[in-house]
Amino acid sequence: MKLLIISGLSGSGKSTALRTLEDLDFYCIDNLPLSMLPNLGAQIHSNRGDILSNTAVGIDARTMLDASDDIHGILDDMRALGIDCRIIYFESDDAHLLKRYSETRRRHPLTSDNVSLAEAIQHEREMLAGISAVASQHVDTSHMTPHDLRDFVTEHLTDSAHGMSVLFESFGFKHGVPGGADFIFDARCLPNPHWEPELRPLSGRDKPVQEFLVQQLETSLLVEDIHAFLGKWLPRFEQANRNYMTIAIGCTGGQHRSVYMVDRLASLFQEQRDNVLIRHRELS
């Protein structure tokens, strides 16, 4: 029996995540008060194998009331019933939240005549600090499109029974470090194909760029060192019951070196384990 608690900031993609889970045959309940979770857990426990065997609930700041103080006890009670209960916390940086609300003309649930949008976002962060602190996973959707988010939910939130899922993600430091990464490696020490005019418009997925990087001794050394490090420590995290790990590799723009490194390392780990995923943030 699985219960996913979808929480996080308004405008960060919770509704998209719930709709995606509903399409994947989860029984979804939005805006459930946190204080009602124990009743739902008892219902799930007493109806093993029915429609509630895979359930997802959306919880936002408006429905938490004072129950956030009891979140540890609520989760312990759920797990004592044999329910795989996990909190997935969705977040985004202020700039993207402000942009999303300005583009959609939606009203933030905590705004009023006396509370600006920026103030409402900050207040909501404070209100959700308790549930954020105990979340099983944080998902930063700042740079995700709705399509990216649906793919993420499909690939990451529905297959925990088949071992830990490992996501290799490339990014550009000039666009910001991805939130929620468990390990971040810096590939800016490698020779940069950007300074080769014929390679500049290409990416690390194109053969000429790959050939350029393969010829550099530093590239193979960095691949070997990261592969050895992760090969040693990923199994330890898996033994500690981690369901997801995100390995972020960055270069300046997220187009050449980090893309090549992610594809190369992911291919090595795909030979050793299932559930190895790839995302190129700047290319998407």
Q: Which domains does the chain have, with CATH numbers?
A: 2-158 (3.40.50.300), 165-280 (no CATH)
For the record, the structure tokens of 145 come out as 């499109």
> Per-residue pLDDT for 156 more than 80?
no
Cα–Cα distance, 280 to 266 (Å, whole number): 12
Position of tokens 């592969």?
227
Cα–Cα distance, 234 to 164 (Å, whole number): 9
Centre a 10 Å sphere on the Cβ of residue 132 and count the other Cβ atoms it contains: 16
- Is 155:234 a contact under the CB 8 Å cutoff? no
> Per-residue pLDDT for 91 more than 90?
yes
User: Which range among 51-60, 63-72, 76-85, 185-194 shows the weakest confidence by mean pLDDT?
Assistant: 63-72
> Per-residue pLDDT for 242 more than 90?
no
pLDDT band at 118 (very low <50, low <70, confident <90, very high): very high
Residue 161: predicted pLDDT: 44
User: What is the radius of gyration, based on Cα positions, of the chain?
Assistant: 21
Averaged pLDDT, 168-188: 94
- Is 4:55 a contact under the CB 8 Å cutoff? yes
Q: What percent of the chain has pLDDT over 70?
A: 94
Three-class secondary structure of residue 171 per DSSP: strand
Residue 70: predicted pLDDT: 74
Cα–Cα distance, 55 to 191 (Å, whole number): 48
Q: Which residue has the higher pLDDT, 161 or 76?
A: 76
The pairing of strands 183-186 and 244-251 is parallel
∠ CA 5-8-13 to the nearest 5 degrees? 95
Residue 150: predicted pLDDT: 87
User: Which range among 21-25, 44-48, 81-85 shows the weakest confidence by mean pLDDT?
Assistant: 44-48
Assessment of whether the complete model's pTM goes beyond 0.85: no
